[in-house]
């Protein structure tokens, strides 16, 4: 059976714990236990790529953002991408999320050939499988927190209730507030709730804690870890905070458009133990 969430300071209310229990129970029904699967999630690939290249043309200048990346991201893992700015991390995240296309190479999500999809099919792929969390919150100013989350839940196949998602990130009392009435940390937590509420197979996170204080950053990371632990959601996270790598199953180090090395963490730490 999937483990129950061990309540901590990120989810202080009984209401939040009840929602998590219900969320994880529904995950049991939807994906079954890992032990019952023919091969567990750690042995299956969410994304696999071969010789991925991305070239941007600026006038007569070619910018090689990816230079032959071979990729293997196991399903159900937290994977952190580290590397200097311009090393290809965000380019890869956009490509595996269906927001951009590689110039060449092969890329699959489970048994789906992403390279072969047309624009309409890519849109449906994103809608059904991917949740995005960016450093900048991308909230609609004229909508409340709940309405911003419902933008996703109204079109998702098996969503959580929008208020439940907001409760999970500690914003049960902010549902009717507009973005201008929320702090930066609260706005980012709305963005996290919006991504988690659709129960995506994958969460793609580009610097989700980059503009947050340490306490709020830990709360965001604990929400991502709970989704990974409870639903088997694959989490791919870009960060410049090397300490966050310690919570990951594996870390991909980027340099000059290539994956320089891959490190698997034999011992992972909880978000609350990360040094900021």
Residue 218's CB is within 10 A of a number of other CB atoms, namely: 22
β-pair partners for 263: 251
Which pLDDT tens digit goes with each residue over 15-53?
A: 555 554 554 444 443 333 333 333 444 459 999 999 999
Domain ranges of the chain: 14-267
* pLDDT at position 21: 53
Sign of the Cα pseudo-torsion (265, 269, 270, 275, in order): negative
* pLDDT at position 137: 87
Does pLDDT of 187 surpass 50? yes
Average pLDDT for 44-72:
95
Does pLDDT of 8 surpass 50? no
Average pLDDT for 171-194:
94
β-pair partners for 108: 48, 113
* pLDDT at position 29: 39
Q: What is the DSSP string of 165-211?
A: HHHHTT-GGGTT--GGGS-HHHHHHHHHHHHHHT--SEEEEESTTTT
Rounded Cα gap, residues 212 and 188, in angstroms: 8
State how beta strands 112-113 and 61-74 pair.
unpaired
CA atoms within 13 A of residue 45's CA, in its CB half-sphere: 15
CA angle at 76 for the pair 190 and 50, rounded to the nearest 5°: 105
Element (H, E) at 94: helix 89-96
Superfamily of domain 14-267: P-loop containing nucleotide triphosphate hydrolases (3.40.50.300)
- pLDDT class for 55, splitting at 50, 70, 90? very high
Does pLDDT of 208 surpass 80? yes
Does pLDDT of 177 surpass 60? yes
CA atoms within 13 A of residue 240's CA, in its CB half-sphere: 10
Contacts with 51 (C-beta within 8 Å, 6 or more apart), sequence order? 68, 69, 70, 104, 105, 106
* pLDDT at position 210: 87
Q: Give pTM, 2 decimals.
A: 0.83
- pLDDT class for 12, splitting at 50, 70, 90? very low
Does pLDDT of 68 surpass 90? yes
* pLDDT at position 169: 86
């Amino acid at each position: 059976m999937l483990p129950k969430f061990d309540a901590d300071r990120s989810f202080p209310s009984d209401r939040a714990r009840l929602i998590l229990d219900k969320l994880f129970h529904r995950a049991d029904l939807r994906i079954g236990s890992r032990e019952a699967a023919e091969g567990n999630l750690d042995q299956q690939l969410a994304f696999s790529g071969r010789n991925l290249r991305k070239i941007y043309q600026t006038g007569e200048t070619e910018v090689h953002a990816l230079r032959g990346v071979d990729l293997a991201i196991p399903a159900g893992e937290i994977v952190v991408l580290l590397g200097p700015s311009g090393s290809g991390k965000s380019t890869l995240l956009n490509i595996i999320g269906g927001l951009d296309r590689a110039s060449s190479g092969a890329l699959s999500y489970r048994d789906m050939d992403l390279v072969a999809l047309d624009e309409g099919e890519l849109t449906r792929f994103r809608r059904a499988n991917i949740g995005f969390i960016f450093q900048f919150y991308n909230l609609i100013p004229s909508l409340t927190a709940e309405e911003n989350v419902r933008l996703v839940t109204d079109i998702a196949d098996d969503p959580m209730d929008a208020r439940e998602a907001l409760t999970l990130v500690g914003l049960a009392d902010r549902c009717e507030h507009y973005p201008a009435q929320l702090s930066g940390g609260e706005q980012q937590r709305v963005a996290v709730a919006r991504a988690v509420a659709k129960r995506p197979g994958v969460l793609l996170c580009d610097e989700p804690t980059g503009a947050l204080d340490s306490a709020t950053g830990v709360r965001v990371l604990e929400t991502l870890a709970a989704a990974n632990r409870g639903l088997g959601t694959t989490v791919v996270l870009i960060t410049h905070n090397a300490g966050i790598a310690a919570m990951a199953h594996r870390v991909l180090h980027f340099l000059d458009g290539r994956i320089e090395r891959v490190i698997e963490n034999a011992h992972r730490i909880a978000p609350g133990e990360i040094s900021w």
